[in-house]
Structure 1
Amino acid sequence: MKWLLAPAFVALSSTIALAGDQYVDETGFAVSGYDVVAYFDLAQSPVGTAQPEAVPGNADITAEYNGATFAFSTEENRDAFLANPARFAPAYDGHCAYGVSRGGKVPANPNLWRIVDDTLYLNITKNVVGFWEEDIPGNITLAEGNWGGIEPDPASENTIPSFSSTAPLN
């Protein structure tokens, strides 16, 4: 029986060893305090146009995941997150998806988002969104190829450029 459990333990422990830190900015919250579940209810704009602004979370409605505090606009959204946090948490521990496609961890602006194949991706600046959108599938492929090598690195400690959060602060 032990030999049956050994491969599962090795697989689990290698996943744990690769877990990176969630990006958390000066707000003290993951995704700058915006509700990650609410993105999935927003109408996505066509590529090349700005997305709707993210929904601010409430500092009194939170959940812990991946070493960070996520805030939610409703208790229902928090409960949905707790039921399946990996579904709602942004790709690449909340770092800029285009930055990861280029091999680095940089901050991401929660208002520069896109959902692709039921995964939330964030980017850092409007200019970067343009590069990301030139080839979303290709950039996802590049990011996936880079992520295993950079995921264990510490989270970015940089500030999101040209961004002022309207989400809750501690």
Structure 2
Amino acid sequence: MTAQRQQGHQNGSKPRFRRAFAVIAIISLLLLPSAAPAATTQRIIANRYSGLAIDGFDPVSYFVDGQALVGEADFEAAQGGVVWRFRNEGNRASFLAHPEVYGPQFGGYDPTDVARGITVAGNPRLFAVVEDRLFLFSREESRDAFKADPERYLAKAEARWPALQEDLPQ
């Protein structure tokens, strides 16, 4: 190897490696829903980088499939100032007809925390459907406590939610 090639190899490989690593890291942050935290200053929880409500999970799938399923980019709808994703056109149509039924209660904030007077973003993977309404939770312990006595938490959360909601920007 010539002296010129050796010098170019030594000086050029590290910056290229660093740039490639930086590009991979940025792409990973954009593609992984769990890598991007939710904004906790909105009336409906949305990913602060993508703008997707409940990290792109299909809100209708909780009712229809009984599980948290990620929606598809082909089936999106804007509602409530955020973008929602769905698994299929039927789920999208159902949500648009009745967003108050399929959307998470308290905007996706953990109802046990709302009952305590604070807003903590719920995790779309930690959920419960109680009385035909979707609730998201920040911790498993919160979900378990809520499921054990939903009336107790709902009464307190519903009483505190209007004041908490006023503090959230539109």
| Normalised TM-score (structure 2) | 0.69
CA RMSD of aligned residues (A): 1.6
Matches within 5 A, 1:91-130: 91-130=105-144
- 4+ runs of 1 displaced by more than 4 Å? none
The corresponding residue for 1:64 is 78
Determine the C-alpha separation between the residues in 1 that align with 2:87 and 2:65: 13
The corresponding residue for 1:36 is 59
Indicate the structure whose relative CO is greater, using CA pairs within 8 Å and at least 6 residues apart.
1
| Equivalent residue in structure 2 for 1:24, among 43, 46, 54 | 46
| Equivalent residue in structure 2 for 1:75, among 74, 78, 89 | 89
After superposition, the Cα gap between the structure-2 partners of 1:60 and 1:153, relative to the gap in structure 1 and judged at 3 Å, is farther
Determine the C-alpha separation between the residues in 1 that align with 2:57 and 2:94: 15
TM-superposed CA distance for 1:127, in Å, is 2.2
What per-residue deviation string (whole Å, max 9, x for no partner) do you get for residues 82-103 of structure 1?
1111111110011111111111
Determine the C-alpha separation between the residues in 2 that align with 1:130 and 1:77: 28
**SS in structure 1 at match of 2:46:** coil
Determine the C-alpha separation between the residues in 2 that align with 1:78 and 1:107: 23
101-110 vs 22-31, which moves further? 22-31
Determine the C-alpha separation between the residues in 2 that align with 1:66 and 1:118: 20
Q: In structure 2, give the amino acid aligned to 1:25.
A: N
Q: Which runs of 5+ in 1 are unaligned?
A: 1-19, 44-51, 156-170
What is the total number of aligned residue pairs between the two structures?
127
TM-superposed CA distance for 1:132, in Å, is 2.1
TM-superposed CA distance for 1:59, in Å, is 1.8
| Equivalent residue in structure 2 for 1:89, among 103, 109, 130 | 103
TM-superposed CA distance for 1:29, in Å, is 0.8
Q: Give the fraction of aligned pairs with identical amino acids, expressed as a percent.
A: 31
After superposition, the Cα gap between the structure-2 partners of 1:73 and 1:147, relative to the gap in structure 1 and judged at 3 Å, is same
**SS in structure 1 at match of 2:167:** coil
Q: Which runs of 5+ in 2 are unaligned?
A: 1-41
**SS in structure 2 at match of 1:151:** helix
Higher helix share: 2
Q: In structure 2, give the amino acid aligned to 1:87.
A: V
TM-superposed CA distance for 1:23, in Å, is 1.0
Determine the C-alpha separation between the residues in 2 that align with 1:88 and 1:130: 21
